[in-house]
């Protein structure tokens, strides 16, 4: 199976102030950090070696990752394309699976790799979900090639799609990646302008991009639904006798006091929430971030 890279160096700007304290990939989704779901998926599907880049709050990842994950630290943030290039030594040669560290999904990765392998012309294969024509971040031609990207048109669009941030890069594409830059803006767009091909493999299931407080909370509620439970409370968390929890995740060292309902809330590690409360992320320093 292919080597893989999880992109984790970003600043998480849309999640501030939460990401001023915790980098986005380490924010909880259910009983573990978001990145742990992805790493477990890659391990279970046989991908490896697995590399991960760090920059923003890089020290937070110390001791939080499996020992076999290879860290590629960026003193200066390099972007998605530059990050993959910088981590080349950690992954070895060949095609590589690249997965955004803030994306949660359970795709058929073997199908993605098979679709990629069946294409003799595509410089990369992007995982995407179907949208109506003209909608989404991508436009596709009848054969599954990208013909719309960031508002530019390169052919006849018959279907729209949303890119999930999961992709397979061909070895030849890796060899020409810039030292600093973006895979979409600095690699795929110029390639499409030159008449080269970027493929798409469609994903049929749910997915989450935890880039905003609302999306982070939604991902936690969806996890509860998949697990068939109404809430998840860490074993060392403290819940007051007058509190009624619903659709909420309470992390290690956290507590919930007061009286009444706490619904659709994420109480981060070490934080204290006070009922009644709804549709919020509660930080350890007491800040309450609206997430409805």
**pLDDT reported for residue 131:** 96
Taking the alpha carbons at both ends of the chain, their separation in whole angstroms is 40
Give the percent of the chain with pLDDT over 90: 91
**Distances, alpha carbon 147 to alpha carbons 50, 110, 203, 221, 263, in Å:** 31, 25, 18, 35, 43
Q: Is the pTM of this model over 0.85?
A: yes
Q: Does domain 4-208 have CATH number 3.90.550.10?
A: yes
Let me know: does 146 contact 192? Beta carbons within 8 Å: yes
**pLDDT reported for residue 189:** 97
Least Cα distance to 96 among 179, 200, 201, 4 occurs for 4
Mean per-residue pLDDT for 150-175? 95
Q: What φ, ψ does residue 187 adopt, rounded to 5°? A: -125, -60
Flag whether pLDDT at 262 surpasses 80.
yes
> Which pLDDT band holds residue 67 (cuts at 50, 70, 90)?
confident
**pLDDT reported for residue 210:** 95
Flag whether pLDDT at 54 surpasses 90.
yes
**pLDDT reported for residue 292:** 83
**pLDDT reported for residue 62:** 87
DSSP-assigned beta bridge partners for residue 197: 122
Rounded CA-CA distance 41/182 in Å is 25
Flag whether pLDDT at 120 surpasses 80.
no
> Which pLDDT band holds residue 64 (cuts at 50, 70, 90)?
confident
The predicted-structure confidence for 211-260, as pLDDT tens digits, reads as follows 999 999 999 999 999 999 999 999 999 999 999 999 999 999 999 999 99
Least Cα distance to 43 among 95, 6, 90 occurs for 6
Flag whether pLDDT at 78 surpasses 90.
yes
Flag whether pLDDT at 105 surpasses 90.
yes
**pLDDT reported for residue 138:** 97
Helices (H), 48-108: 79-86, 88-91
Could you give the angle at the alpha carbon of 37 between the alpha carbons of 34 and 38, nearest 5°? 95
Half-sphere exposure for 258 (CA within 13 Å, toward CB): 13
Least Cα distance to 167 among 199, 141, 206, 208 occurs for 199
In the chain, where are the structural domains located? 4-208, 213-290
Mean per-residue pLDDT for 96-124? 93
Rounded CA-CA distance 76/145 in Å is 34
DSSP symbol at 145: B
Lowest-confidence region among 65-74, 192-201, 271-280? 65-74
Which of the two residues, 65 and 120, has the higher pLDDT score?
65
Let me know: does 198 contact 123? Beta carbons within 8 Å: yes
Q: What is the CA radius of gyration of the chain?
A: 20
DSSP-assigned beta bridge partners for residue 34: none
Mean per-residue pLDDT for 138-163? 95
**pLDDT reported for residue 63:** 81
> Do strands 138-140 and 159-169 pair parallel, antiparallel, or not at all (unpaired)?
antiparallel
Rounded CA-CA distance 4/97 in Å is 5
Rounded CA-CA distance 216/280 in Å is 10
> Which pLDDT band holds residue 173 (cuts at 50, 70, 90)?
very high
Q: Token match 């993605």: residue?
A: 112
């Amino acid at each position: 199976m292919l080597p893989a890279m999880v992109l984790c160096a970003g600043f998480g700007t849309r999640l501030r102030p939460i990401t001023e304290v915790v980098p986005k990939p380490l924010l909880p989704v259910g009983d573990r950090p978001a990145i742990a779901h992805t790493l477990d998926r890659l391990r279970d599907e046989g991908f490896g070696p697995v590399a991960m880049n760090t920059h923003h709050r890089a020290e937070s990842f110390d001791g939080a990752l499996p020992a076999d994950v290879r860290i590629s630290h960026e003193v200066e943030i390099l972007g998605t394309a530059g990050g993959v290039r910088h981590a080349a030594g950690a992954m070895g040669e060949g095609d590589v699976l690249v997965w955004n560290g803030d994306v949660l999904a359970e795709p058929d990765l073997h199908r993605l790799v098979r679709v990629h392998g069946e294409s003799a012309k595509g410089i990369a294969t992007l995982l995407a979900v179907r949208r109506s024509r003209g909608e989404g971040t991508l436009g596709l031609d009848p054969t599954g090639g990208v013909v719309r990207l960031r508002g530019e048109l390169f052919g006849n669009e018959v279907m729209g799609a949303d890119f999930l941030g999961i992709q397979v890069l061909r070895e030849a594409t890796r060899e020409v990646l810039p030292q600093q830059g973006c895979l979409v803006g600095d690699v795929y767009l110029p390639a499409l302008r030159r008449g080269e091909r970027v493929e798409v493999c469609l994903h049929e299931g749910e997915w989450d991009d935890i880039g905003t407080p609302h999306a982070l909370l939604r991902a936690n509620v969806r996890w509860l639904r998949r697990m068939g439970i109404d809430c998840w409370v860490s074993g060392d968390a403290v819940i007051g006798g007058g509190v009624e929890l619903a659709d909420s995740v309470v992390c290690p060292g956290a507590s919930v006091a007061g009286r009444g309902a706490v619904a659709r809330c994420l109480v981060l590690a070490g934080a204290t929430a006070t009922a009644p409360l709804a549709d919020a992320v509660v930080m350890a320093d007491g800040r309450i971030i609206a997430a409805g």
